[in-house]
Every structure is written in C-alpha cells, then in structure tokens.
C-alpha cells in the first residue's frame, strides 16, 4: 500500500469512506460531508485526510513571514460581544494614533527584516477619509518597500462611507496611497442569527462578501476568516465555509483562510468558550482544508493558539503559521498569554521541529527565504 492508500483505508475504517473516495478523486465535498467531518470522533483520520490535501498542494513547505501589526485605534462603535479590544474615546486605555505615531511604529523596527505591516483597528465614524490615506502614506514614507496589508471589510465599509463614494472608487485612491492587500478579519460567522445576537451593529455577512468581491475585482488579494467557538452551530460553520468557497469560485481573490478561535476574557461572551485547544484547532484546520478546495492556504495563527498548537495544526491541513507579529493587541486584550512576538529563528525552528520545511514568504507568497534550496528564488 502507498502512504496515500493507507490514509484512505484508515479514513474508511473510521466511517469516512465516501468522503475519502472524493478526496482520493479530488472531488469537491458537500455541505453534508462538512457536517460529517465536524461530527466524526476520528480526529486522526480527519487530520490525515486533510494532510493529504495539504501535501498535494504544498508538500512539506510551511510558510511564515516577518511582519508587524499596527492597530491604529481601538475606538469603535460596533460593540461586538466577543471583542475585548474596543474602547470609546475618553475611556481608560482608548487611543487613536496620529499618522506620525503610526510611522514611528514602523521606524521602531526599521533594522529588522520586516516585509509586511498588518494594520487593522476599530471603526470610528468621526475619523475623516484623509486620515486613512495619511496613515498609508506615512507607513510608505517610513519604509517604502513594505507591503501594507490593511483594513478589514468592516473598516473598508466605513472608509467608503466617510469618503462618500462607493468602495470601487475608493480602492484606487487607497492603493495610490500605499494599500497593497487586505486582511481577512471582520467576517465572524456570516449567519444572520449570530450577527443579530452578537454583532448586529457591524456589517452583515452578505455585505462582507459583497465588499470582498469588490476588492477582488479591483485586483487586490485578501484573506478570509471565521470566528468560531461561541454560539455558532456546525451547520452555521459549514454554511460560512460554503459561502467563502462560492465567492472564491466567482472572484478568486482569497489567498488564505484563517480559523479564529474565540478568546474568552474581558468581553460579553467570556463564559462561552475556554479558548483554543489543540483538538478544536486541529479540527477547524482539517475541515477547512478539505472543504475549501479553491483557497490555496490555511493558516494556524500561532499568536492566538500558542506555537505548540500551531505546530500540531501543520499535520491537520495548515501550511502557514503567520509571522513574527511584534506587537499584538486584539488577542492579548482578550486574555492571550502567548508572547507578543516571536523571533524569526524561533518560527523557523518550530516548523523544522514539526518535520516541515520553513519558507519565509512575503504577503503574496513570493519566497523570500527557504530551507529547501529547490524553492529559493533565482
């Protein structure tokens, strides 16, 4: 038996036969298959199936980048029940960085080989349109070659509102000012029921998808996410993944899917979750890798789950661990106890220790450095 045949045999033994046949044939899985994958107690068989797909796509290559997060404000008027980061102006700890302060954050790390700034924040209607252009320009002035991955669909909705123009007209101006791609946050779970219950002031799932389509049509790449581990049902999770897959068939701009485990401290949903566990993370990675057959990468965002769990996820379908990060607020306000940064060498070693090949990428998955000479750029 080949290793692949052994994996398929074990999946059949675990009662996942029809799904294993589809995986073997490279066929798309259905919503019912997704429900079966969420329900199966056979976590190892599930992980091996997802790993098969991961290795078909990427072999042992495992991506990371050297990046820096800048959360330019925590002012927010959305009051999402899962959020521990938001503040109202005047409240203790509330801040709004000036463009110079944003630039200073970049200059603080100018001697490090940072290739990407990940810039997201709360939504505050009094922030004028020019501010968003100015912070992009300030970052590029401080470090011209850096890739700016900024603004979730929720922020873009607000930016278009203050610009008083449709997003399609705003995007070229943001690009001109320095925007290179967009992160995947703000999607939460698309189901209206959860939107109403947990984050009704935020854009709906439909609107998130509509905005992502517009961004993709403008030629920018984005990531996508799902916030799990609170009041959602498995049906709602499968529906969310299916909606992402459908948009990807049509617009094709998603690079990476990132499951985000609900972090339980200092927010209104704090009693709903115990936070990330290896089993939950592994299952979310695996189901996503198997269902999202048209999204190239699945990321185990180490900062929310710890590096050790992210390493485990590399055997459950994930091929990316995110980056060095430098300073993280959203998860640390919600109780994350991971370090706020990891040295590049530590990420490299963690990936090697997981038996994979570390590859430093830029935001668009161009290879910057690799442990495997065959994948090095010429």
Among 68, 214, 223, 312, which residue interacts with ligand V47 (rule: CB under 6 A)?
223
Q: How many chain residues are in contact with ligand V47, going by CB under 6 A?
A: 21
Q: Does 305 bind ligand V47 (CB under 6 A)?
A: no
Smallest gap from Cβ 235 to ligand V47, in A, equals 20
Q: Which residue has the tokens 């002035």?
A: 141
Among 47, 122, 185, 317, which residue interacts with ligand V47 (rule: CB under 6 A)?
185
Among 184, 253, 259, 282, which residue interacts with ligand V47 (rule: CB under 6 A)?
184
- Chain positions 48 to 67 lying near ligand V47, rule: CB under 6 A, are none
Of 41-49, 241-249, 260-268, 339-347: span binding ligand V47 (CB under 6 A) = 260-268
Q: Is 4 or 270 the residue whose CB approaches ligand V47 more closely?
A: 270
Among 109, 243, 263, 297, which residue interacts with ligand V47 (rule: CB under 6 A)?
263
Q: Is 185 or 358 the residue whose CB approaches ligand V47 more closely?
A: 185
Among 227, 286, 315, 354, which residue interacts with ligand V47 (rule: CB under 6 A)?
227
Q: Is 19 or 182 the residue whose CB approaches ligand V47 more closely?
A: 182
Helix/strand/coil (H, E, C) string of the chain?
CCHHHHHHHHHHHCCCHHHHHHHHHCCCCCHHHHHHHHHCCCHHHHHHHHHHHHHHHHCCEEEEECEEEECCECECCCCCCCCCCCECCCCCCCCECCHHHHHHHHHCCCCCCCCEEEECCCCCCCCCHHHHHHHHHHHHHHCCCCEEEECCHHHHHHHHHHHCCCHHHHHHHHHHHCEEEECCCCCCCCCHHHHHHHCCCCCCHHHHHHHHHHHHHCCCCEEEEEEECCCCCHHHHHHHHHHHHHHHHHCCCEEEEEEEECCCCCCCCCCCCCCCCHHHHHHHHHHHHHHCCCCCEEECCHHHHCHHHHHHHCCCCCCEEEECCCCCCHHHHCCCCCCCCCCHHHHHHHHHHCCCEEEEECCCCCEEEECCHHHCCC
Of 32-40, 44-52, 223-231, 243-251: span binding ligand V47 (CB under 6 A) = 223-231
Task: Mark residues 151-170: x for contact with ligand V47 by CB under 6 A, - for none.
Answer: -x------------------
Q: Does 215 bind ligand V47 (CB under 6 A)?
A: no
Among 50, 260, 295, 354, which residue interacts with ligand V47 (rule: CB under 6 A)?
260
Task: Mark residues 306-335: x for contact with ligand V47 by CB under 6 A, - for none.
Answer: ----------------x-------x---x-
The two three-digit tokens of residue 276, written as one number: 């990330």
Give the residue nearest to ligand V47 (CB): 185
Q: Where do contacts with ligand V47 occur on this chain (CB under 6 A)?
A: 82-84, 152, 183-186, 188, 223, 225, 227, 258, 260, 262-263, 267, 301, 322, 330, 334
């Amino acid at each position: 038996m080949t290793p692949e045949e052994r994996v398929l045999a074990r999946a059949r033994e675990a009662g996942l036969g029809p799904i294993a046949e589809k995986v073997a044939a490279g066929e798309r899985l259905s919503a019912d298959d997704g429900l079966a994958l969420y329900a199966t107690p056979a976590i190892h068989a599930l992980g091996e199936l997802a790993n098969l797909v991961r290795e078909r796509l990427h072999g042992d290559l495992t991506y990371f980048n050297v990046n820096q997060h800048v959360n330019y404000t925590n002012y927010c008027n959305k009051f999402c029940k899962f959020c521990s980061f938001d503040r109202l102006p005047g409240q203790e700890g509330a801040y709004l960085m000036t463009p110079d302060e944003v630039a200073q954050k970049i200059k603080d790390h100018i001697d490090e080989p940072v290739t990407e700034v990940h810039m997201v924040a709360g939504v505050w209607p009094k922030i004028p349109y020019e501010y968003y252009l100015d912070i992009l320009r300030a970052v590029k002035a401080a470090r011209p070659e850096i890739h700016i991955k900024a603004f979730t669909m929720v922020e873009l909705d607000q930016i278009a509102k203050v610009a008083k123009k449709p997003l399609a007209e705003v995007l070229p101006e943001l690009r001109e000012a320095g925007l290179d791609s967009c992160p995947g946050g703000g999607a939460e779970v698309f189901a209206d029921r959860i939107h109403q219950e947990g984050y009704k002031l935020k854009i709906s799932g439909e609107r998130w998808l509509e905005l992502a389509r517009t961004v993709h049509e403008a030629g920018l790449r984005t990531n996508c996410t799902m916030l799990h581990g609170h009041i959602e049902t498995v049906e709602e999770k499968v529906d969310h993944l299916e909606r992402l897959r459908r948009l990807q068939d049509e617009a094709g701009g998603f690079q990476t899917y990132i499951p985000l485990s609900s972090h339980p401290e200092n927010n209104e949903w704090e009693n709903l979750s115990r936070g990330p566990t290896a089993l939950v993370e592994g299952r979310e990675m695996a189901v996503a890798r198997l269902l999202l057959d048209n999204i190239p990468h699945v990321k185990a965002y180490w900062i929310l789950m710890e590096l050790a769990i992210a390493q485990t996820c590399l055997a459950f379908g994930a091929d990316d661990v995110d980056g060095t990060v430098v300073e993280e607020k959203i998860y640390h306000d919600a109780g994350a106890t991971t370090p706020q940064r990891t040295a590049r060498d530590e990420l490299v070693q963690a990936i090697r220790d997981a038996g994979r090949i570390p590859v430093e990428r830029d935001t668009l998955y161009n290879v910057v450095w690799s442990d495997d000479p065959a994948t090095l750029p010429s």
